[in-house]
Structure 1
Amino acid sequence: MTFSTSHSPWNKGKRVGQKLPLKLEQIWAIRIRLEIAEKIRELAMFNMAIDCKLRSCDMVKLLVRDISRNGEVLERAQVVQQKTSQPVRFEITKKTRESVEAWIKYRGLTGMDYLWPSRIRRCDHITTHQYARIVKKWVGSIGLDPSVYATHTLRRSKATLIYKQTKNLRAVQLLLGHTNMSSTVRYLGVEVEDALEIAESIEI
């Protein structure tokens, strides 16, 4: 009995695995390009994605009222995650507040409107696929390989920087809305790196 060998593995020629986070200088490179190009919506979206650290399904469904009161963007906000049904809080830094306020004013959005409304379907938000395409465009604009970056890149970026500076896994767990620490450890991929750093600091 013979078997056909014509079928290729689903991942042949594709990059798979966890997507890379952005480094600090890469975040600023994208931000500056969006500012220079006066991309009001995309600048607000990029800044919010970095700060909120939400999954794409939660990011695209943000309502104006989730992050704003009386025309002003909040310093801290909270949403219920679609995946876990658990609330997660996040900070909104000054630069993000300013860019999001500019976008809300420019688009004339009100409390019950989606923060990232669809340009095609009235009263709906952009899709996760549309969001993913925008992210690919951002990373490609600064010369990065879009195949190794995705929407989870923006969720991971600030969390990774926070961990590298503080080594506080519990804080990162809370910020990402993970239900257990092991998920955070796997998500950051820090075990081997941290072990090596500890080993290198000890001479025998």
Structure 2
Amino acid sequence: MSAETWISTFLEAQSAEAGAARNTLLGYGRDLKDFTQWLERKGLTPDKAARADVEAYLTFCDAQGLSAATRARRLASIRQLYRFAFEEGWRADNPAIEIRGPGRAKRLPKTLTVEEVTRLLEAARDQGRTEADRLRNTCLMELLYATGMRVSELVSLPLAAARGDPRMLLIRGKGGKERMVPLSPPARDALALWLAERETQEDARPRGAQPSRFLFPTSSAQGHLTRHRFYILVKEIALAAGVTPSKVTPHTLRHAFATHLLENGADLRAIQTLLGHADLATTEIYTHVLEHRLRDLVETHHPLNRSE
């Protein structure tokens, strides 16, 4: 089989069997295309490449100035391809399985202060050309900060998940995993106002028009607000709020949700559940916010710090 057939068959299986997201499939495709093109220049094919060839490719990537994170991701893509090839009987081994990739540096997530988030939420109430736009934008921002959802989870929320003044939202996350996240009173109020406006819009639709199943419907190909449009919207709200736009993305609001919970004493396991992290190690990056609280705890309660 050609390298193109290897990649296309692998991607089809990832989509059909593993339920991989479109962006994940695109990432796999880019990484594997680069790898197989490099093999071709060396007169090799994926079915003949050895461990030394994979290592040589990673050295080539390093020489090209690619970051450690990019090289680690490419190795992961190659491993997945060869694991699939082994399971399908295309190869008798996985030449990449024992290769150690470059370590990824754990960077502290960028976050926002409570005061900055408050300004963003207030600015959202006035952002938009129409009252409907302003109600929708307020709902989007309140839900994002109240739940810590991923942006893809937020913009694709089904209408059914939000009906009936819910105290909890059912969120479908990565890999189709579901989790329940409680809503704050401000988020519930914003949701109720947007639902009323959305119902008015539905009533005004032409007779016979198919109603949207999404909470935030648009005329986009996906049928709902796109991640890109929401990203731009968040930047516009940041500008209106007087918060540096470069500091504000949908993901920094997710980080703010987790950081502010930890600062106020929430349990790390609970935050893992709320964020939808499969591994607690992913959530542990937020423990940097505990340093100040732990230092105060020791200074206040340790017997050696007590004055006579």
Secondary structure of 1:43's counterpart equals: helix
Return the match for 1:104 from 195, 200, 204. 195
The RMSD of aligned alpha carbons is: 2.9
Higher relative contact order (CA 8 A, sep 6+): 1
> 2:253 — aligned with what?
154
- Name the TM-score, length of structure 1 as normaliser: 0.76
Cα shift at 1:59: 1.0
Cα distance between partner residues in 2 of 1:36 and 1:43: 8
Within 1, Cα distance between the matches of 2:231 and 2:175?
21
Distance apart, 1:103 and its partner CA:
1.3
Q: Which of 21, 26, 42 does residue 116 from structure 2 map onto?
A: 26
- Distance across 1 between alignment mates of 2:266 and 2:146: 19
Partner of 1:60: 155
Q: Give 1:42's aligned amino acid.
A: N
Give the aligned partner of residue 49 of structure 1.
144
Which residue among 101, 110, 125 is the counterpart of 1:35? Answer: 125
**1:88 touches 1:175 (CA, 8 Å); kept in 2?**
yes
Q: Is the 8 Å Cα contact of residues 43 and 99 (structure 1) preserved in structure 2?
A: yes
Offset of residue 176 of structure 1: 0.8
* Percentage of matched positions with identical amino acids: 21
1:91 aligns with 2:182: yes
* Residues 67, 189 of structure 1: alpha-carbon distance in 2 compared, 3 angstrom cutoff: farther
**Structure with max Cα Rg:** 2
Instruction: List runs of 5+ in structure 2 lacking aligned partners.
Output: 1-63, 68-106, 203-210
| Pairwise CA distance, 1:31 | 2.2
Report 1:124-203 matches (<5 A).
Answer: 124-187=223-286, 189-190=288-289
Contact between 2:125 and 2:138, CA under 8 Å: does it hold in 1? yes
Q: For 1:178 and 1:29, locate their aligned partners in 2 and report how far apart those are by CA, in whole Å.
A: 28
2:213 counterpart SS class: coil
Partner of 1:113: 213
1:75 aligns with 2:175: no
Q: Is the 8 A contact 1:113 1:123 kept in 2?
A: no
1:34-90 C-alpha deviation (Å, 9 max, x unpaired): 33565111001111111121111111110111122xxx2200121220x24322211
Structure holding more helix per residue: 2
Q: Distance in 1 between matches of 2:290 and 2:189?
A: 37
Q: Following the alignment from structure 2 to structure 1, what is the Cα–Cα distance between the partners of residues 167 and 273?
A: 17
Runs of 4+ in 1 over 6 A off after TM superposition: 7-10
* Change over 3 Å in CA distance of 1:167–1:106 after alignment to 2: closer
Amino acid at match of 2:119: A
Query: When the two structures are superposed, what TM-score results if normalisation uses the length of structure 2?
Result: 0.53
Structure 1 gaps of 5+ residues are 1-6, 11-16
Aligned position for 2:26: none
Aligned length: 187
Secondary structure, aligned partner of 2:224: coil
Distance (whole Å) between structure 1 residues aligned to residue 292 and residue 145 of structure 2: 24
1:103 maps to a residue whose letter is W
CA distance in 1, matches of 2:296, 2:175: 33
Give 3-state SS (helix, strand or coil) of 2:264's partner.
helix
| 1:73 aligned counterpart, secondary structure | coil
